[in-house]
Chains A and B, each alone.
Chain A
Amino acid sequence: MMARTIDFAQGWRSMQIGITKLEKHVEGLPGHSLNSEQYINLYTTVYVMCTQKPPHDHAEKLYNKYREVVEEYTKSTVLPALRKTYDDEYMLLRVLLERCSIHKKMVRRLSRIFHYVDRYFVVRNSLLSLEEVGLACFVDMVYNTLQLRVREAVIAIVDKEREGDDTGIDRALLENVKDIYVEIGMGKMKRYEQDLESFMLEGTASYYSRKASRWIQEYSYFDYIRKSEECVKKEKKRVSHYLYASSEPKLVKIVEHELFVVYANKLLEKKHSEFREIAGGLEPITNIFKQHVEDTDGQDTAAIRKVIEVHDKYIVYVTKCLENQTIFHKSLKEAFKFFCSKAVSGSSLSDESLATICDRIIILKKWASEELSDEAIEKVVKFLAYISDDKDLFAEFYKKKLARRLLLNRDASDDHERGIITKLKQQFGGNFTYKMEGMVTDLTLSRQNQNSFDEYVANNPAAKPGIDLSVTLLTTSVWPSYKTFDVNLPSEMVKCVEIFKVFYETKHKRRKLTWLHSLETCHINGKFDQKPIDLIVSTHQAAVLLLFNTRDKLNYTDIQTQLNLRHEDLVWVLHSLSCAKYKVLIKEPATETVSKTDVFEVNSKFTSRTGGVKIPLSHVDERKKVVEYVNNDRRYAIEASIVRIMKGKKVLGHEQLVSECVKQLSGMFKPDVKAIKTRIEELIARDYLERDKMNPNMFRYLA
């Protein structure tokens, strides 16, 4: 126990020695650390000086001395160090951070030594605590004088990075700077927000304002949009390096404002004029979009961006389709307008309708009441193909329509069809189009073959079909599959078939011929009372009609026995001849449907304005079949993909398997996750895969 009173001057002298040591120690100078005994001595000295009876109670003096020490320390050690960093931003920040941290350490240690002052004197007199005093000192003497320089240093570094100058950027350093503000703010964000954040936001705004005003002049519309999107992305990434997460949304909003909102109208004008250059007459489209932007009041960046996004999609189409030519057909424009308005309103056309439109355009050679050149047709088809959602579905429908055109619409030029297919090949790749090409080739070869056949018949007295026979040869693998309704042909036709078969075998010994009677057309001349009429009918219809050459009246059963058709098929054929538009046969009783007890005879009173009549058979729903076919194809494709992936990886988690699968198939169609799951389960049931015993979300490939 200390008995004697400590005189202030004396006490302070011993304190000073310890404090000086401490100052040297926090500087990192070796050999000046205080051991615990020295530490306790200092603490005790303070304690005694505070608790001595007046007039030796020196708490107040100690409090003031404490402040003096910190101020002196700051003046003699911290400020000179900072002054040395005159022009170098990095050095300034580095030294500042260093000094801040050392200062903090110093204040803390000192406060501990002077702790007793804190406990009673400070509290009793409602004064700033020792730590607060220390911090205030730093703020007054260091922070306030340097604040401006620090902020400018930070923004200079950020701007440098924005300009693309990545060299020597010390991100770790930058990240720590913001912490100073929170320190200074005693753990609260107010200082940070007021002193750093608001300044950075302002700086960002002015940076982008400058840039935008230049870019809007220099860049094309596309490039401006692209560049701006890039900037937003980069700013999002960058902001976390020097500001807190809470600042990100504020900053991004500012960037978007400067780049998009401020120039919204100018951007539209830009588009407008640029498009007039690329493709004259795009006004209708830009008007639609302009209207949309006006509707969203031009203030809502998100809405504007969506409109721009949709518009850009179509601009890509236009540029790709037109390849920067200035020709822009009215029909393409119409198409464009039509699809744009659909897209903006959210709906889209099915792949089937797109294929149907293509078919109509090719057959009619016009669209939107404008005659189209072959070249224009190619462009329109390419465009429609491009915007289809599921390429494989579109291709399948297109193929079906192509087949019909080739078989029934004999006027269409092969070269033209080939040209279109080539354009599609560029879009889809050879996979989808090689069959189409095969079909067109078949037609060309068929024609050559027909010539040979005609020659053969001319030179071969024994081979006289007696009827004009024209045969189209289809290579099975490339054409859609057609049902073959086998029917007992009339003898005249049987003869034709035989002769052709013999002829064909002379050229191709090992090929098998299957006749597709459902696709055939026969021209029959009917000698009706008023006048003879040429009837264009299918082979089945012809077979029925020719039966009446030998008999006047035939009942259902007779016909069926003779022709050997299935009930459904025969009903179908008889219906078309007796109950539809052209009643070439009279049916007794004259009901709407054909039944097994009906009796038929030729309608001799049948006549028509024209000399020739085509009697159609009603069509089966093709659409369903195509969709089914594609779905089946897809099922195989998905399974094959899963097996491929699992074979490679051996073990894979469910989610990865699904995403790999989607990725693999993305070029053709977007597989539905449910469909993939179903296939996986199928493969498990077929012992291709198994679930891992430990983790049911993992699959294992079974060799």
Chain B
Amino acid sequence: MDRIDHLFNQYANTSSNLIDPEGIEELCSNLEVPHTDIRILMLAWKMKAEKQGYFTQEEWRRGLKALRADTLSKLKKALPELEKEVRRQSNFADFYAYAFRYCLTEEKQKSIDIETICQLLDIVMGSTFRAQVDYFVEYLKIQNDYKVINMDQWMGFYRFCNEISFPEMTEYNPELAWPLVLDSFVEWISEKQA
């Protein structure tokens, strides 16, 4: 525990006793992981971090204990294993939902603006569903109906990637309960392909 705390203090802001965005940046550079890499998000998930850009001491302890890492090098080594764990089908949906909640910065906020969503999609799903993400991001930027995306729509996209073949999308049925934004998305692609 001591070593974990010691590590915490190396990055924490002494007055607030939190690791703030600056500290996280330093951590990333020490871990040799880009700041916007999905693995940091995964780390946050493991820690069950509540506030984006900040790690509390409790969260830090929780995360590192679970990863059995009490030094920087151990933490670094733990990352690939962590990634594998998160990408397991049983965990990924939870992680995906977590990623959305993590970006809700205001208190009563329930949806996220399009710009942030596009970035988030790229980080979270870019490596596994490149084509879908690229198309969907393009669509979101062009369309005018939606200025924000809510949790239901966010999860809908996850189901979409997992259940619908791309780009054929033959299984897609707009008469089912897919979120409307996806209906419009599919329509838009069909028109593009025509």
Chain A interface residues (CB < 8 Å from chain B) = 654-655, 658, 673-674, 677-678, 680-681, 684-685, 691, 696-699
Contact = CB atoms under 8 A, between A and B. Distances in A.
Given A655-B175, A685-B110, A696-B159, A677 B152 contact: no
A685 B110 CA distance: 8
Interface in B125-156: 150, 152-153, 156
Contact of B180 (A655, A677, A685): A677
Contacts of A673: 175
Report, as a range, how many residues of chain B touch the other chain: 10 to 19
B152 A697 contact: no
A265 B177 CA distance: 50
B179 interface: yes
A697 B176 CA distance: 6
A297 to B, nearest CB: 36
A685 B183 contact: no
A682 to B, nearest CB: 10
A685 B176 contact: no
Given A673-B175, A674-B180, A696-B156, 7 more contacts: A654-B176, A655-B175, A677-B180, A678-B180, A681-B152, A685-B150, A696-B159
B152 A655 contact: no
Contacts of B176: 654-655, 697
Nearest to A684: B152
B177 A696 contact: yes
Contacts of A658: 175
A691 B180 contact: no
A674 B176 CA distance: 11
Of residues B111, B153, B176, B180, which shows the largest number of chain A Cβ atoms within 10 Å of its Cβ? Answer: B180
B45 to A, nearest CB: 20
Nearest to B163: A696
Given A684-B152, A685-B152, A691 B177 contact: yes
Contact of A681 (B110, B175, B179): B179
B183 A677 contact: yes
A639 to B, nearest CB: 15
A137 B174 CA distance: 61
5 contacts: A654-B176, A685-B111, A685-B152, A691-B152, A699-B177
B150 A697 contact: no
Contacts of A684: 152
Interface in B144-194: 150, 152-153, 156, 159, 175-177, 179-180, 183
A513 B81 CA distance: 74
Nearest to A654: B177
Contacts of A696: 156, 159, 177
Interface in B99-132: 110-111
Of residues A658, A674, A681, which shows the largest number of chain B Cβ atoms within 10 Å of its Cβ? Answer: A681
Nearest to B156: A696
Contacts of B153: 681
Nearest to B184: A674
Given A677-B183, A685-B150, A697 B177 contact: yes
A681 B151 CA distance: 11
A684 B179 CA distance: 11
Given A655-B175, A691-B152, A681 B159 contact: no
A371 B71 CA distance: 98
Contacts of B156: 696
Leading 6 A-B pairs by shortest Cβ distance: A654-B177, A697-B177, A677-B180, A684-B152, A685-B150, A697-B176
A658 B183 CA distance: 16
A674 B174 CA distance: 10
Contacts of A674: 180, 183
A127 B183 CA distance: 67
A697 B163 CA distance: 13
Nearest to A657: B177
A396 to B, nearest CB: 26
A358 to B, nearest CB: 36
A16 B43 CA distance: 91
A677 B178 CA distance: 9
A649 to B, nearest CB: 15
A638 to B, nearest CB: 14
A697 B179 CA distance: 10
Nearest to B153: A681
Of residues A680, A685, A691, A696, which shows the largest number of chain B Cβ atoms within 10 Å of its Cβ? Answer: A696
Contacts of B183: 674, 677
Nearest to B175: A655
A698 B175 CA distance: 13
B113 to A, nearest CB: 15
Contacts of B152: 681, 684-685, 691
Contacts of B111: 685
A275 B153 CA distance: 58
Of residues B152, B159, B176, B177, which shows the largest number of chain A Cβ atoms within 10 Å of its Cβ? Answer: B177
Contacts of A698: 177
Of residues A674, A677, A680, which shows the largest number of chain B Cβ atoms within 10 Å of its Cβ? Answer: A677
Contacts of A677: 177, 179-180, 183
A470 B183 CA distance: 57
Contacts of B159: 696
A154 to B, nearest CB: 43
A659 to B, nearest CB: 10
B117 to A, nearest CB: 15
Contacts of A680: 177
Nearest to A698: B177
Nearest to A685: B150
B154 to A, nearest CB: 12
A136 to B, nearest CB: 53
A254 to B, nearest CB: 37
A604 B183 CA distance: 66
B186 to A, nearest CB: 13
B96 to A, nearest CB: 14
